[in-house]
Amino acid sequence: MKRILIVTGQSGSGKSSALQVLEDLGYYCIDNLPLALLPEIVGKLDQENNLEQLALGVDVRSTRADLQEFDQVFQQLQKHGEVDVIYLTTKDQELIARFSASRRPHPLANRFKSLNQCIQEEKQLLRPIQMKATVQIDTSDKSVHDLKDTLLSKLGQVDKLIVILQSFGYKHGIPLDADFIFDVRHLPNPHWDNELRPYSGLDEPVQRFLNSFEQTHEMFQDLNQFLEKWLPAFAEGHRHYITVSIGCTGGQHRSVYIVDRLKKALEAKWSIQVLHREMKHWS
């Protein structure tokens, strides 16, 4: 995993909106997990899904003990990639106005009589996380669009199309989130070679095997030309992301190989995210 974002801040400051923006930018987003469970869950996701960008929503509903030991959680997460903390804050009066308008209770409302007391206590509980923040954003006078622009600027990203390249195995089902699905089961199958079976399409022996067939190169060229031609049209249509799924029988050899080649061909021009859906099934 290359980048992990922890998104937190005061209740009512826009954490949910920030996660929606990050999801549009290609991040895999998970909200409201207990802090103590984050290292284990991130480790499992890293091992099984090969995610490159993950955003984790954390708030004051974690236990006081977990919040106080955030440094330990932060250090464990660093084993899986670069970790940044985005902390959202808002002026007290603006928070009070937002809660009054929404008529939703503050997460600490069952412990304190006044909303102002809830806000002050929350600041103290979140202080250990705030001290680790690499990005702090005051959302007091920001709309959702303003928040998006600020996140793009502070994260060093631009509002451009994210291309998600996904390999999968037909025997495990067709992905429901794909914009395009291409079938490469007609290519020679390394699975039937006992020496190649344990490898994946990311490994040199399988790549050498598939490279020895002309139809492999023809299939790659056709897919690459299709994407090179039509991705600009999708970008001009203000799409945030597009998912291109490549399938073979088991999702370990041929589809993985094609996805890897497409990534290398397209990444100089496009922002690419890769997901090998069946990695957990690889032998």
The domains located in the chain, with CATH, are 3-154 (3.40.50.300), 162-281 (no CATH)
Percentage of the chain beyond pLDDT 90 is 53
Residues 249-276, mean pLDDT to the nearest whole number: 95
Alpha carbons 67 and 96: distance in angstroms, whole number? 24
pLDDT of residue 278: 93
Q: How far apart are the first and last CA of the chain?
A: 21
Q: Residue 10: which pLDDT band, with cuts at 50, 70 and 90?
A: very high
pLDDT of residue 156: 64
pLDDT of residue 266: 97
pLDDT above 70 (res 157)? no
Q: Return the sign of the alpha-carbon dihedral for residues 101, 107, 111, 112.
A: negative
Q: Residues marked as binding? A: 9-16, 59-62
pLDDT above 70 (res 238)? no
Q: Residue 235: which pLDDT band, with cuts at 50, 70 and 90?
A: confident
Q: Residues marked as binding for ATP? A: 9-16
Residue 169 Rama label (left phi>0; alpha psi -120 to 50; beta): beta
Alpha carbons 58 and 62: distance in angstroms, whole number? 8
Q: Residues marked as binding for GTP? A: 59-62
Residues 250-278, mean pLDDT to the nearest whole number: 95
pLDDT above 80 (res 34)? yes
pLDDT above 90 (res 240)? no
Which of the pair, 24 or 248, is modelled with greater confidence? 248
Q: How many CB atoms lie within 10 A of CB 97?
A: 13
Residues 224-238, mean pLDDT to the nearest whole number: 89
pLDDT of residue 135: 84
pLDDT of residue 201: 97
Q: Kindly report whether the global pTM for this prediction surpasses the value 0.75.
A: no
